[in-house]
């Protein structure tokens, strides 16, 4: 078993335990860009724990985290430009679904991915409320709590339960998502919103959902989930149908079979985000 994977799983468990311990207690909540975009002292505490543990095990590895976008003075764009030359870079979301966490809802996750020379090698997503541990190692399949998982075989949107999120960028990204909901809401069997991009990806991989799309996501939201979906025999593209890259902001994760239908409807609804 990959040492990187085992360390990532252990760190995710520890971060999840920290979050669960404090979920019903008082903690400081702040707005970031707007009233829809929250950060708590627990986001920062979880990220500190994750970063400290990674540095303990792998002191030479780079780390990109949501609450500390990139180490040093690099911008995220600088990282994308250099990522293909970096041997090991961890991409961390300490709480994916902070609004859920603040409101005491179960759908929040810890997401940890390891990228080597631009390729995602390890992905771990942990939902501490339900003790759901999803993980994948490149070329080795995807798993939920030790059991191998596969995407659902539905071949049509009207047979599919799909999901999306509500971006915090109200003026652009959320409008595109709402356009997509209006279009797809009368085509798909149903639409779900769990409030965590990482969890949406994990549920696509596990066959609980047939697809997930969103506009305006960040690399730490989905890097681990992208690998888990692919290792579960799914596919990940941008909303124009191009292969996923770490810099992709508008994304579709699916079982692959309903991808073309989704792309067609999102384009028709002006919901691609491009």
Catalytic status, residue 258: no
The rounded distance, in Å, linking the Cα atoms of 127 and 264 is 32
Q: Which of 47, 96, 132, 231 is catalytic?
A: 96
Pairing relation of β-strands 235-238 and 250-254? antiparallel
Q: Which of 67, 93, 231, 261 is catalytic?
A: 93
Catalytic status, residue 43: no
What is the Rg, in whole angstroms, of the alpha carbon atoms belonging to the chain?
17
Catalytic status, residue 14: no
Q: Which of 11, 50, 54, 95 is catalytic?
A: 95
- Which CA distances in Å does 215 have to 15, 202, 208, 250? 27, 18, 21, 4
- At 11, give phi and psi (nearest 5°): -65, -40
Q: Which of 43, 221, 238, 259 is catalytic?
A: 221
Catalytic status, residue 78: no
- At 248, give phi and psi (nearest 5°): -65, 130
Tell me if 221 sits within 8 A of 197, measured CB to CB.
yes
CA-based nearest residue to 218, from 90, 96, 74, 62: 96
Catalytic status, residue 248: no
Give the containing element (helix H, strand E) for 176.
helix 173-184
Catalytic status, residue 77: no
The rounded distance, in Å, linking the Cα atoms of 63 and 217 is 19
Q: Which of 40, 98, 239, 248 is catalytic?
A: 98
* Residue numbers annotated as active site: 66, 93, 95-96, 98, 221
């Amino acid at each position: 078993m990959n040492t990187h994977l085992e360390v990532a799983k252990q760190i995710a468990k520890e971060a999840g335990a920290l979050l669960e311990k404090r979920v019903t207690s008082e903690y400081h909540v702040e707005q970031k860009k707007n009233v829809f975009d929250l950060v708590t002292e627990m986001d920062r505490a979880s990220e500190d724990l994750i970063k400290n543990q990674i540095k303990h095990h792998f002191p030479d590895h780079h780390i990109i985290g949501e609450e500390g976008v990139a180490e040093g003075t690099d911008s995220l764009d600088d990282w994308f430009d250099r990522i293909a030359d970096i041997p090991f870079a961890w991409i961390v979301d300490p709480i994916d679904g902070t609004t859920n966490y603040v409101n005491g809802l179960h759908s929040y996750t810890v997401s940890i991915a390891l990228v080597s020379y631009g390729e995602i090698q390890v992905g771990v997503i942990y939902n501490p409320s339900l003790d759901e541990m999803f993980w994948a190692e490149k070329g080795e399949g995807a798993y939920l709590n030790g059991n191998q998982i596969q995407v659902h075989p539905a071949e049509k949107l009207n047979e599919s339960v799909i999901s999306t999120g509500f971006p915090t960028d109200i003026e652009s990204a959320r409008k595109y998502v709402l356009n997509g909901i209006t279009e797809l809401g009368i085509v798909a069997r149903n639409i779900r919103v769990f409030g965590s991009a990482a969890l949406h990806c994990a549920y696509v991989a596990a066959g609980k959902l047939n697809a997930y799309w969103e506009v305006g996501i960040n690399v730490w939201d989905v890097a681990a989930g992208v690998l888990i979906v692919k290792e579960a025999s799914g596919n990940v593209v941008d909303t124009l149908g191009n292969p996923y890259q770490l810099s992709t902001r508008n994304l579709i994760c699916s079982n692959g079979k309903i991808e073309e239908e989704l792309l067609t409807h999102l384009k028709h609804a002006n919901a691609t985000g491009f």
